[in-house]
Chains A and B, each alone.
Chain A
Amino acid sequence: AQTVTQSQPEMSVQEAETVTLSCTYDTSESDYYLFWYKQPPSRQMILVIRQEAYKQQNATENRFSVNFQKAAKSFSLKISDSQLGDAAMYFCAYRIPPTNAGGTSYGKLTFGQGTILTVHP
């Protein structure tokens, strides 16, 4: 079974500084996707960044980037130039593509426990 682990229940950062959130996962699949979702107090799930496992290049979206280490099954999120609006719960998630899913996976997202990020002014 696939599992996703976020070992940092809480993290904090000063505004304008950089913070890295950790995520590890366990899978025997070779083709999968990894995601970071942001959940502000409104509880809306906002996609931050996505990484395809077959791509060696780390994904980047503006101030957000990932460090994807496939062999180590590690997928960390780096937030540069942190802003007050970045404060939220962050979830790491794993997904086998539906077209390749076997058994009962059917492309479901498996989530980590989440990391609460606080940004100090």
Chain B
Amino acid sequence: NAGVTQTPKFRVLKTGQSMTLLCAQDMNHEYMYWYRQDPGMGLRLIHYSVGEGTTAKGEVPDGYNVSRLKKQNFLLGLESAAPSQTSVYFCASSHNRASGNTIYFGEGSWLTVV
């Protein structure tokens, strides 16, 4: 019963380094999302995908890139990490027509940029 799985769960980066966060879902969901959560705030949408091979920008896309080469995976990349990208990152997924239209979340990835 995996649901939405994010890797890695924790990572410390130096300014300027690059990394990729991987999100995998096993529910055959069409829609996938990457959010970030900063202290004392709600989640803000970085990028999203409505299907394999498609991606689009959310509210706060600057400094991030994404790819959806396979339906079950959604990758979030930081090409040159900055301290402002220190945050908790959440991946989420949903069907495009599911009962209740519920979005399912991963457990979060803690990223610190020093």
Contact = CB atoms under 8 A, between A and B. Distances in A.
A64 B90 CA distance: 25
Interface of A: 4, 33, 35, 42-45, 47, 50, 52, 91, 93, 95, 97-99, 104, 106-109, 111-114
Interface of B: 30-31, 33, 37, 40-45, 48, 50, 56, 58, 88, 90, 92, 94, 96-97, 100-103, 105, 107-108, 110
A98 B97 contact: yes
A114 B44 CA distance: 12
A108 B42 CA distance: 13
B100 A109 contact: no
Contact of B42 (A33, A42, A50, A91): A91
Nearest to B41: A113
B42 A114 contact: yes
B56 A52 contact: no
Given A91-B42, A98-B97, A109 B103 contact: yes
